[in-house]
Structure 1
Amino acid sequence: MLTIHHLGVSQSERIVWLCEELGVPYALKLYVRDPVTRAAPAEYRAIHPAGTAPVITDGDLTLSESGAIIEYIIAKYGEGRMARAPDHPEFASYLFWLHYANGSLMPAIMSDRMAAAARPAGAPIPAIPTRSERGLAMVEARLGQAPYFAGDELTAADVIMLFPLRPSRLFEPRDLTPYPNLRAWLRRISERPAYQRAMGQAEPGQPIALV
């Protein structure tokens, strides 16, 4: 059986949500971060050589990386649902956002946070937009064109984009007031029964509302 190894407060919550949306049976194994360092426990890091979340096991297969796991589950168990076929008018948009989430947006957010943390107290904030701010501007523009990243329906592009866009539980939350389209998208996500079920299992006790 497909097993999702979920590290608390991590990107692996998106895999639980994907399976709930698709109605794919899975077993969920929860792992708790170290309360002081917030690092994954040794037993989690030992599952896959990458040592990062998410990770799934499926029979003899052990697979890491969000994008790879999402494509694997959709292809093997989802019968292509929640993806866009090559002949779909939103196919290119689907591919872009599916890969942009972890390929560009997450690194931009992390590098901006590290740069801000390293800035001396009282140092001026650069006037030019940061990489993550440029990314959020792109997100806001896209969600002004369509309710979801690949058009009128939820796809895996939305599933993978949520983690970098949701209010952070590991860092100081970003003010999303300037992004009404993004906030509306977050409300739509939080109202989905599959998302509510996923978070109830993966992050029991955490608020479901995203805005």
Structure 2
Amino acid sequence: MRSLLRTLCLTMLTALSMTGTTALAAADTKLAPLTIYHIEGRRSERLVWLCEEIGRPYQLEYKRGNIVGSMATIREISPLMPVAPTVRYGDLVMVESGAIIELILAREGGQGLVPPVDSADYAYYLQWMHFAEGSFASRVIADYRVEMLNVQKPNLGYKLVDSEAVLKFADAFLAKNPYFGGSNFSAADIMMLFPTNFAAGMNVVDLAEFPNVATWKQKVESRPAYKKMLEVARPDGLVGSPKPLPKKE
């Protein structure tokens, strides 16, 4: 009897010593089915990249080379908010790539893509996870649209939001840290690459002026999981991307 009680106590102490996400992952190793509804070259790439990084099974749904067809599929799943990504995670239907990434990593374990909560890196990891869309993407897309109007109608005189200030902020951080998650590659880097590529690809900014961001971009795009994402989620390159701005002289 004493031996049984001792075994039970040790088991309980071991479980209590685990972090919440680790204990959850250990308690339920059966992963919820995940379907990613995708459009080539859109933010849904983040979910594919994440799954490839952590070896997480997923089903990818899109019509190759057919943005209208891919969007029609998404509308069937999420008619009130048809965006890419839309995912079916178990019984849930969700949008917002950052929220989906955080949910998967919280429920299934950080898989090395989340710094320890008590580490110095964790605060910056959270900052860049949310900065990617909240400050970065919003400014870059606004500047792209404003500059495109200025190109089409030069006399309108619309003012830019100033994407360059955002890149300066990011470049200064990367001067002291190899990744946006701090010391190691993390989900924050997955979040930050999309607006970086949009800014550079649409000629909103010149990455040559931000060498730390350029070096980081090359480094994360060389990862095997990123290359695998391109293979399965963007087999024909960018499909139906917006027209780039004229390059600044």
TM more than 0.5: yes
What is the alpha-carbon distance in structure 1 between the residues aligned to residue 110 and residue 124 of structure 2? 20
In structure 2, the partner of 1:134 is: 165
Residue 45 (structure 1) aligns with: 75
Report if the CA contact (8 A) 1:5-1:31 is conserved: no
Matches within 5 A, 1:116-135: 116-119=147-150, 120-121=153-154, 130-135=161-166
Alpha-carbon deviation of 1:169? Answer: 9.2
d(CA) in 1 for partners of 2:233 and 2:210?
Answer: 27
Q: In structure 2, list runs of 5 or more residues that go unmatched.
A: 1-32, 239-249
CA distance in 1, matches of 2:188, 2:102: 11
The correspondence of residues 1-211 of structure 1 with structure 2, limited to 5 A, is 1-31=33-63, 41-48=71-78, 49-79=80-110, 81-119=112-150, 120-121=153-154, 130-167=161-198, 171-172=202-203, 174-206=205-237
Under a length normalisation based on structure 1, what TM-score does the superposition of the two structures give? 0.85
Higher helix share: 2
Q: CA deviation at 1:125?
A: 8.8
Number of aligned residue pairs: 203
Q: Which moved more, 1:71-80 or 1:22-31?
A: 71-80
Runs of at least 5 residues in structure 1 that lack an aligned partner in the other structure: none
Q: Which amino acid aligns with 1:121?
A: P
Alpha-carbon distance in structure 1 between the residues aligned to 2:201 and 2:208: 20
Greater Rg over alpha carbons, structure: 2
For residue 38 of structure 2, give the secondary structure of its aligned residue in structure 1.
Answer: strand
Tell me the distance in 2 between the aligned counterparts of 1:141 and 1:31: 40
Deviations 1:40-94 (A, max 9, x none): 6322233223211111112211111011100111112244531123201111101
- Separation in 1 of the partners of 2:94 and 2:104? 11
Task: Measure, in 2, the Cα distance between the counterparts of 1:81 and 1:62.
Answer: 26
Q: Which of 79-88 and 98-107 deviates more?
A: 79-88
What's the TM-score, normalizing by structure 2? 0.73
Q: Aligned letter for 2:136?
A: L
- Deviation of residue 39 (structure 1)? 9.1
* Equivalent residue letter for 1:117: M
What are the superposed Cα offsets for residues 82-130 of structure 1, whole Å, 9 maximum, x if unpaired? 112320111110111000111111110111112112223377796xx84
| 1:2-38 C-alpha deviation (Å, 9 max, x unpaired) | 1111111100001100111111111111245756xx7
CA RMSD of aligned residues (A): 2.5
Distance 2:100 2:207 in 1: 29
Q: Output the CA distance in 2 between the equivalents of 1:150 and 1:170.
A: 24
The question of whether the paired residues in 2 share the 8 Å contact of 1:167 and 1:174 is answered with: no
Distance 2:175 2:156 in 1: 35
